[in-house]
């Protein structure tokens, strides 16, 4: 009796992938078109473009925020500052958290010696040409321990002075001042509870709540135009000199 020939494996029908890729490409073109008509949300567009590229081929170019995170994280690793600096990428851009205890002397807005090289390293990354059109919002946060000195009547003044001090340092290191915004939150936005259920202070948590948060995200189209005009004017004056 003749042997029955083996059944051929059924080849998966992947013709749908071409249609899917066309649809995604059209969607991308639609978003690009929106950019020409409106002041679009640039950070959100970067995230959407990166996500779409990953879904199509898995090897699309990373967003500017992702590249900046890698730059800053590399600097932090080289300086062995992981315990003092945390770098996180979120939906809006980059969040760099600086430990208040590591960067400032207790109860003051005076930077510690260790803070200087770390902030200078950040300046080098934030001042690279590809990141010059990123805004930087510096937020000051404290714990809930009251402070009452001649200079700092409350934690509001302390958190404001600390956020301003970090911004001033970066501006003095040649970052453009129009990129900055400083905000004081005092102890109103703790990262973790300052006290337990009985009201006793949790020292470790209070230390975590003393922090500076730097939120870095790409400028809007109008802001980028001003940024580029400023750099072009600077180059022109430099060439004339």
**Given a cut of 50, is residue 198 above it in pLDDT?**
yes
Average pLDDT of the chain, as a whole number: 84
Tokens of residue 214, six digits: 């730097």
Q: 64-229 belongs to which homologous superfamily?
A: OmpA-like domain (3.30.1330.60)
- What pLDDT does residue 93 have? 86
Cα–Cα nearest to 127, from 66, 68, 42: 68
CB of 42 within 8 A of CB of 220?
Answer: yes
Predicted pLDDT at 143: 97
DSSP string covering 78-112: HTT-TTTEEEEE-SSSEEEEEEHHHHB-TTS-PBP
pTM greater than 0.85 (yes/no): no
Out of 8-22, 67-81, 110-124, least confident range: 8-22
Pairing of strands 85-89, 211-218: unpaired
237 pLDDT more than 50: no
Instruction: State yes or no: pLDDT of 43 exceeds 80.
Output: no
Percent with pLDDT over 90 in the chain: 58
What was the pLDDT predicted at 14?
65
Residue extents of the structural domains in the chain = 20-56, 64-229
Chain position carrying tokens 């925020």: 65
Q: Which residues pair with 212 in a beta bridge?
A: 98, 140
What are the pLDDT digits (tens) for 168-178? 999 999 999 99
| Per-residue confidence band for 84, with pLDDT thresholds at 50, 70 and 90 | very high
Q: Tell me: pLDDT of 53 over 80.
A: no
């Amino acid at each position: 009796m003749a042997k029955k020939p083996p059944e051929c494996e059924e080849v998966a029908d992947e013709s749908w992938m071409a249609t899917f890729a066309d649809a995604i490409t059209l969607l991308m073109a639609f978003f690009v078109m929106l950019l020409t008509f409106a002041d679009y949300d640039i950070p959100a567009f970067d995230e959407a473009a990166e996500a779409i590229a990953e879904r199509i081929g898995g090897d699309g170019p990373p967003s500017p925020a992702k590249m900046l995170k890698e730059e800053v994280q590399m600097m932090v690793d080289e300086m062995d500052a992981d315990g003092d600096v945390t770098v996180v990428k979120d939906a809006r851009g980059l969040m760099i958290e600086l430990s208040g205890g590591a960067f400032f002397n207790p109860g003051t807005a005076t930077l510690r010696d260790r803070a200087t090289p770390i902030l200078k390293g950040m300046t080098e990354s934030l001042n690279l040409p590809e990141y010059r059109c990123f805004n930087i919002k510096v937020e000051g946060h404290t714990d809930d321990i009251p402070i009452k000195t001649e200079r700092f009547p409350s934690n509001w003044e302390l958190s404001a002075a600390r956020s301003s001090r970090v911004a001033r340092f970066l501006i003095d290191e040649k970052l453009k001042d129009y990129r900055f915004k400083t905000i004081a939150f005092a102890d109103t936005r703790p990262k973790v509870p300052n006290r337990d259920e009985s009201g006793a202070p949790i020292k470790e948590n209070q230390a975590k709540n003393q922090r500076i948060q730097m939120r870095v995200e790409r400028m809007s189209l109008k802001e980028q135009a001003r940024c580029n005009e400023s750099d072009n004017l600077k180059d022109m004056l430099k060439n004339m000199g």
